[in-house]
């Protein structure tokens, strides 16, 4: 990282509506737009696929093969690299509030209090959470799902019985599980993270954020959790048996504006950091070195999507105001 700006390696794209999420399907960057459209950007060609005919996309995730989108039309739709859409589920007009995917093709989603887990063979199991669900995440081992809701989280084996309940008062939003499966972390309404060491339910509170954390990313070695919600990317250490308990986080990309999205590089200890003013920086965790990717003065167009391709050579980004783009890292 000898250069200080990668701006000349960025291709800008007018998407036209809020970008809910970005992903690479094969080599093609694809943007899920709020208006129900998937925008495919190939060299010299843009293609739009209406995944939701009459719905806004609320949640979108990709496993690299398909883009799965949940809408306010109640539909869960999977669309592949060729733009072929398949309706996975129809929640009859209820909104799809949360979504998570597993590498083997399993997925889980929620609509209000209803949680559905669908295994790789397509068998769907149901669970009614005690309150509306905002966050879902599969555990890395076993077919088990973490469910964030009001006053705590539930861990559910869709093929077994009742879920285990992890209590912590308050409203829990997004959920994430450490890649080694030892820690569950949720973001909360009160501008903090809550964590549980799953083995003994020991609590961890990660606070000090001026805003809600709505974006998490685990480092490629699984030892660090990068988070949004502060005027820097706050990165918590999880390598010891106690996780971040009693330890401070590292901070990368300190700027006078809030971090809105974070995405660790798939193989290096480098973070893509998106800000509420539309800036994107790359930052190296070890020494904090930064490289500029995009940004203007006096913008309020928050970065809403960041996604690396599988090789880590390209970064797709998108904003609330419908600006999209791709960074091609120079060889």
Contacts with another protein by CB under 8 A lie at 18, 20, 34, 56-58, 72, 95, 97, 132, 134, 150, 169-171, 189-190, 211-212
Strands (E), 26-111: 28-33, 37-42, 45-50, 57-62, 66-71, 75-80, 85-90, 98-101, 107-111
- Min dist. Cβ of residue 222 to another protein (A): 30
Phi, psi dihedrals of residue 7, rounded to the nearest 5°: -55, -35
- Min dist. Cβ of residue 146 to another protein (A): 18
- Min dist. Cβ of residue 99 to another protein (A): 13
Look at the alpha carbons of 149, 17, 9, 64 in this order and tell me if their dihedral is positive or negative: positive
9 or 50: CB nearest another protein: 50
- Min dist. Cβ of residue 23 to another protein (A): 18
- Min dist. Cβ of residue 80 to another protein (A): 23
Q: Greatest CA span in the chain, whole angstroms?
A: 55
10 or 32: CB nearest another protein: 32
- Min dist. Cβ of residue 37 to another protein (A): 12
Residues with Cβ within 8 Å of 276's Cβ and at least 6 positions away in sequence, in order, are 257, 258, 259, 260, 300, 302, 303
76 or 315: CB nearest another protein: 76
Residues with Cβ within 8 Å of 184's Cβ and at least 6 positions away in sequence, in order, are 137, 146, 153, 155, 166, 175, 176, 177, 178, 195, 196, 198
224 or 279: CB nearest another protein: 279
| Cα–Cα distance, 7 to 281 (Å, whole number) | 10
144 or 212: CB nearest another protein: 212
95 or 279: CB nearest another protein: 95
| Cα–Cα distance, 101 to 32 (Å, whole number) | 16
């Amino acid at each position: 990282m000898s250069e200080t700006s990668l701006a000349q390696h960025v291709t800008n794209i007018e998407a036209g509506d809020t970008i809910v999420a970005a992903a690479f399907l094969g080599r093609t960057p694809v943007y899920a737009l709020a208006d129900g459209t998937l925008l495919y950007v190939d060299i010299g060609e843009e293609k739009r696929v209406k995944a939701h005919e009459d719905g806004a996309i609320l949640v979108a995730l990709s496993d690299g093969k398909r883009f799965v989108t949940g809408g306010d039309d109640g539909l869960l739709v999977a669309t592949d690299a060729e733009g072929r859409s398949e309706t996975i589920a129809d929640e009859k007009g209820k909104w799809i509030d949360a979504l998570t995917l597993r590498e083997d093709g399993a997925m889980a989603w929620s609509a209000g209090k209803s949680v559905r887990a669908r295994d790789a063979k397509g068998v769907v199991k149901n669970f009614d959470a005690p309150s509306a669900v905002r966050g879902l995440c599969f555990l890395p081992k076993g077919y088990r799902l973490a469910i964030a809701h009001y006053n705590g989280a539930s861990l559910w084996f869709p093929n077994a019985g009742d879920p285990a309940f992890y209590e912590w008062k308050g409203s829990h939003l997004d959920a994430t599980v450490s890649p080694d499966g030892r820690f569950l972390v949720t973001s909360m309404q009160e501008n903090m993270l809550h964590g549980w060491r799953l083995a003994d339910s020991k609590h961890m509170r990660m606070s000090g954020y001026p805003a809600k954390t709505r974006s998490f990313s685990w480092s490629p070695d699984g030892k660090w959790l990068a988070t949004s919600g502060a005027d820097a990317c706050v990165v918590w250490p999880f390598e010891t048996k106690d996780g971040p308990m009693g330890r401070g986080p590292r901070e990368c990309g300190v700027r006078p504006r809030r971090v809105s999205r974070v995405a660790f590089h798939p193989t290096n200890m480098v973070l893509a950091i998106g800000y509420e003013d539309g800036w994107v920086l790359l930052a190296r965790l070890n020494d904090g070195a930064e490289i500029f990717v995009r940004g203007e003065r006096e913008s309020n167009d928050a970065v809403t999507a960041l996604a690396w391709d599988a090789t880590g050579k390209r970064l797709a980004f998108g904003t609330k105001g419908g600006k999209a783009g791709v960074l091609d890292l120079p060889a």
